[in-house]
Structures are given as C-alpha cells and as structure tokens.
Amino acid sequence: MEKTPRPVFSPPNTGGKTARKRWNIKEKKGKREMSQETFDLFTDTTGRHVGQQEKATRRLIESLTERSGGDLDPFATTLCASLLSLAQNIDTQRNAGKEISRNMNTYLDNVQRLQDMYPPEPKVDEDVAAYLAEAKA
C-alpha cells in the first residue's frame, strides 16, 4: 500500500514541539494559530506576473481607500477582495485566450456597487468656478 504524499502547503506534523517551533505555531485557548514569518520586502505579488486588470484594480482600491478617509467598511473590503480575485482570474484567462465575459460582468457589477458606496467628488469646470466666485463677490 502506497502512502499518499502530504500537500505542499500543509505543515508537517504540527503536533510535536519541534514542528510547532519551526512553523511558529502559537497556542491560544486550546486553538492553534500558525504563521510563517517572511521578510518585509515580500508582498502577495512577489514572484508572479501581475496583469493589467490587477494593476488597475489595485489603483482603484487605493483611490477608494483615499476617498473613504483611509478606512473601508467590512462590506467594501469584501468587495475589494473579490475585485482582486476577479482581476487575477481575468488576467489569467485573457492570457490563456479563454472567455472572460462572465468574470468581467461580475467585476463591473462590484465596481458599480463600490462607486455607489463611495461616489467620486464632482469636479467643477474652472470657468464655472470663476463665475461662481465672481457671483458671490
């Protein structure tokens, strides 16, 4: 009988003291919390290609965060996480020459929801602003 190999992403034998120390597993009220520390220079995009859709999505999320005053509510945060995931899928499918319309429709729906939650500030034409300032004076 062959033994099935462990998945690459799971820590080996986390029951022993040595494994808990190596994988930095901390006991918290009977539950284990695991984290593997990395250098600060590594991000979630290190070592992989970031496509155009994902770059645009990251800029959109930064803009929304600035617009909201630096803190998004939990619903908006969830929508942003979905947008990033959809953007990565769209880039991957586009590079593979696959159909992207369903993902793109979902993506655009989520963008519309976020725009309804955090509407952009209206921009006033310079001529109109000068006219209004003159009228007030």
CA distances from 1 to 4, 13 (A): 9, 21
DSSP state of 93: H
**pLDDT of 11:** 47
- Unique residue bearing structure tokens 């803009």: 63
Write out the H or E segment, with its range, that includes residue 27: strand 25-28
**pLDDT of 67:** 84
> How does pLDDT run along the chain (137 residues), one tens digit per residue?
566 655 444 444 455 555 444 445 455 555 444 444 555 555 666 667 788 999 999 999 998 888 888 888 899 999 999 999 999 999 999 999 999 999 999 999 999 999 898 887 777 778 877 888 888 76
